[in-house]
Amino acid sequence: MQLTKDGEIVVIHDEHIDRTTDGYGFVRDYTLDELRTFHIHTGKAEAEHIPTLTEVLDLLKDRMQRGFRLNIELKNSIYPYPGMEAKVHDLVESYGLQDKVVYSSFSAKSLETMRGIDHDVEIGMLDSRVSDCLYKLKGGCGANALHPYWQGMDLPKEELEGYTVRVWLSGHLYPEKPTCGRLDLQALEVKGITDVFLNEPEVYLHDHIQLS
């Protein structure tokens, strides 16, 4: 999540729009209306636009009510967005989806703020190494899950017992072309990994299932 100049919550990975749209500059320097003038070229007839969190929740709410879980990364470790945690929390709560969401961030301070807002939500500490995630978790940031880089598993599985360990991967993000390759999930499980964030989840579905 990033915040626009006028305080709207938008769903975009980078702090700037150069890589994924036909515009340039930082998200925080544009209003939502201004951001909507830029296009994301997907190879289809119609270009897409940077969505708001409201639009994403509208799209996914029915699936989330049936068990789909959504990770919301608070992207404020580079540029802090004052009040982001409360804005995001209140919006998710207005949909009644608090128990369907995991909040994560590279900013321990941001997670501490989110925990102060809501003692019951699930929170994951993002970092490169699982040892750093665990250190920050034990330091009181309020997290109850570990979100390390998948090649940053520098602790034995035994030390991770009882923790949810969701790993993230790099590369193959839009506009890079998909590889359609699959990870050996069983090999990851042996290391203590319980969940994965995937950039190409569709390749793990059965051939007869298509994403809508």
pLDDT in tens, 130-174: 999 999 999 999 999 999 999 999 999 999 999 999 999 876 666
| Per-residue pLDDT band at 21 (split at 50, 70, 90) | very high
The answer to whether residues 12 and 73 belong to one domain is no
Task: Identify whether 89 is part of a domain.
Answer: yes
178: its two tokens: 């998909």
State whether 131 and 200 are in the same domain: yes
Residue 209 lies in a domain: no
Residues 83 and 154 in one domain: yes
Residues of the domain holding 66: 52-204
Q: Which residues contact 208 (CB under 8 A, 6 or more apart)?
A: none
66-72 CB contacts, 8 Å cutoff, 24+ apart: 68/100, 69/100, 69/101, 69/102, 70/97, 70/100, 70/101, 70/102, 71/101, 71/102, 71/103, 71/104, 71/124, 71/166, 71/197, 72/1, 72/101, 72/102, 72/103, 72/104
- State the distance between the two ends of the chain, measured CA to CA, in whole angstroms: 23
pLDDT digits (tens, 9 = 90+) for 48-70: 999 999 999 999 999 999 988 99
Q: Is residue 25 part of a domain?
A: yes
Number of domains present in the structure of the chain: 2
The verdict on 170 and 66 lying in the same domain is: yes
pTM more than 0.85: yes
> Do 43 and 111 belong to one domain?
no
Residues 171 and 122 in one domain: yes
- What are the distances in angstroms from CA 12 to CA 50, 155, 182? 7, 31, 25
The answer as to whether 212 is a domain residue is no
* Angle between helical axes of 53-65 and 84-94 (0-180°, round to 10): 40
Q: Let me know whether 36 and 120 are in one domain.
A: no
- 79 belongs to a structural domain: yes
